[in-house]
Amino acid sequence: MDNQLKKFRDRLRITLILYTFSKPIQKEGNTDIARVFYTEIKIQALDFLLRYPDFLSCELMDLMANDNSISKSEIQSIIKEIYANEEPILRVEEMQKFFFGAYESIDGVILFLKSVGFVDFESKRRSDLQAYDKTYYITNRCIQQVENNLLNIPSVKWYYDRCELIKKYFDNFNGSDLKKRQYRYKEYADIPYTMLIQNLNEQVRKSYREHFNELLP
């Protein structure tokens, strides 16, 4: 992928994750801040589900199998559409596997978003001065730009709609729990660290056939 295109997509995805999953907040002394999002770990985990439609499909079927309140027909329809649109081929943006799950540095993205007035952030520091427990603050400017401009672009709307879908089913999980779920898949758990994470298409098709008694497109 062209480097400039990758930069654009990275900034877009992280912006929409922060916009979609953040919660309203009133920050004392700063009327520019409208929402808050906690921890980089959760950003990384949500970004993984955005970038791997096949993993998302597996996760949706797993949730469905363990929660009777989740509509089986709705999950079936979602996954069928994902594969009919060839998302596992066209929409995948690969990530590397690191010690705590799928990872790609977002420091450059966050600094860019801060430079344009979309976000601010705070973090604690360990004794070795490494940052952790990051908190991201989303500004009114970011919200206005997303709602008045970005969401009017058809190609951007796909990312927003997918964020809303992920939010519907995974918003109650914290970042650590989402990361742990990644390791439940042999295709993921067994690959060496720093290697690109491969797809789960065979497992998706097998599980889909078992759950819904039909083949994927």
H or E stretch at 144 = helix 140-148
- In sequence order, the 6+-apart residues with CB closer than 8 A to the CB of 165 are 78
Q: Would you give per-residue pLDDT tens digits along the chain (217 residues)?
A: 678 889 999 999 999 999 999 999 987 778 899 999 999 999 999 999 999 999 999 999 999 999 999 999 999 999 999 999 999 999 999 999 887 778 899 999 999 999 999 999 998 766 555 656 799 999 999 999 999 999 999 999 999 999 999 999 999 999 999 999 998 888 888 888 889 998 999 999 999 999 999 999 8
The overall longest dimension of the chain from CA atoms, in Å, is: 57
Looking at residue 2, what is its pLDDT?
Answer: 78
Q: Is 29 left (phi over 0), alpha (psi -120 to 50) or beta?
A: left
Q: Distance between CA atoms of 157 and 144, rounded to whole angstroms?
A: 15
Three-state DSSP class for 63?
Answer: helix
Which residue do the tokens 């360990």 mark?
126
pTM: 0.93
Phi and psi of 44, rounded to 5°? -60, -45
Task: Check: CB of residue 208 under 8 Å from CB of residue 74.
Answer: no
Looking at residue 1, what is its pLDDT?
Answer: 64
